[in-house]
């Protein structure tokens, strides 16, 4: 048992992570919406938000001499992901040009990624980051993440302020649960290829 008996440092670490990470999530949402001039939708997004806090462990690589994939390249499907590496590097991000860069955060820092749903909601203004975990060395890796998304019946629809001639509507409005079923459908037909592609493109409008 890890919580709360047995390993007090585990629950302490989770609690230490929780407060700043929730504050950061709401700050990031505010900054994004304000900078796009659509902060009037902040309450609507906040009221329909759902959260998922995960602590992740990646077993040590079988072979210490070669890099091993801890997590395949993928886009997160949610709105915002905030990650913290507790032990071990390994997170890599893909740049626009298809290059993989290693993320080496300082111990007290967080990594903020945007997911496919926020990409669609902002009518493409935010780019979702494809990322992966690459393991090397002889140690397991631990990370924590706050994954924020929306209620299943929330309609992911870009605000009209973000749609104009220069920025045509990229995705037809969809319920978050429709994106989830799209992911499940794809996963059952094409050997987890969903993890490599933008699932939201099923709702592409232009």
Binding to ligand AKG (CB under 6 A): which residues in 157-186? none
- Phi, psi dihedrals of residue 116, rounded to the nearest 5°: -60, -35
Q: Which CB atom, from 76 or from 149, has the smaller least distance to Fe ion?
A: 76
- Min dist CB 18 to ligand AKG, Å, is 17
Q: What long-range pairs does 166-173 form, CB within 8 A, spacing at least 24? A: 167/123, 167/124, 167/125, 168/205, 168/206, 169/123, 169/205, 169/206, 170/120, 170/123, 170/124, 170/204, 170/205, 170/206, 171/120, 171/123, 171/200, 171/203, 171/204, 171/205, 172/203, 172/204, 172/205, 173/203
Out of 56, 112, 129, 198, which residue is the one contacting ligand AKG (CB under 6 A)?
Answer: 56
Instruction: Decide which of ligand AKG, Fe ion, none touches 83; Cβ closer than 5 to 8 Å per partner kind.
Output: ligand AKG
Is 38 or 133 the residue whose CB approaches Fe ion more closely? 133
Distances (CA, A) of 99 to 92, 94, 117, 134, 135: 10, 5, 23, 14, 18
- Cβ at position 142, least distance to ligand AKG in Å: 8
CB nearer to ligand AKG: pick between 29 and 131: 131
Among 25, 32, 76, 117, binds Fe ion (CB under 5 A): 76
CB of 176 to Fe ion, least distance (A): 17
Whole-angstrom Cα distance, residue 149 to residue 46?
10
Identify what 56 binds: Fe ion, ligand AKG, none; CB under 5 to 8 Å per kind: ligand AKG
Residues at the contact surface with Fe ion, assessed by CB under 5 A: 76
- List of residues contacting ligand AKG (CB under 6 A): 56, 71, 76, 83, 91, 131, 133, 143, 145
């Amino acid at each position: 048992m890890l919580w709360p008996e047995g390993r007090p440092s585990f629950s302490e670490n989770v609690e230490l992570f929780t407060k700043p990470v929730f504050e950061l999530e709401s700050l990031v949402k505010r900054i994004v919406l304000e900078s796009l001039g659509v902060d009037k939708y902040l309450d609507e997004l906040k009221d329909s938000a759902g959260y998922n806090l995960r602590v992740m462990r990646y077993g040590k690589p079988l072979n210490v001499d070669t890099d091993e994939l801890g997590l395949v390249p993928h886009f997160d499907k949610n709105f915002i992901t905030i990650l913290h590496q507790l032990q071990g590097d390994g997170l890599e991000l893909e740049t626009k040009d298809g290059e993989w860069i290693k993320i080496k955060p300082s111990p007290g820092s967080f990594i903020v990624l945007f997911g496919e749903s926020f990409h669609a909601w902002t009518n493409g203004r935010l780019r979702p980051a494809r990322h992966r975990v690459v393991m090397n060395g002889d140690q397991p890796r631990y990370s924590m993440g706050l994954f924020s998304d929306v209620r299943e019946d929330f309609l992911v629809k870009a605000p009209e302020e973000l749609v104009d001639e220069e920025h045509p509507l990229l995705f037809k409005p969809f319920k978050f649960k429709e994106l989830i079923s799209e992911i499940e459908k794809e996963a059952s037909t094409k050997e987890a290829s969903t993890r490599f592609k933008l699932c939201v493109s099923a709702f592409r409008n232009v």
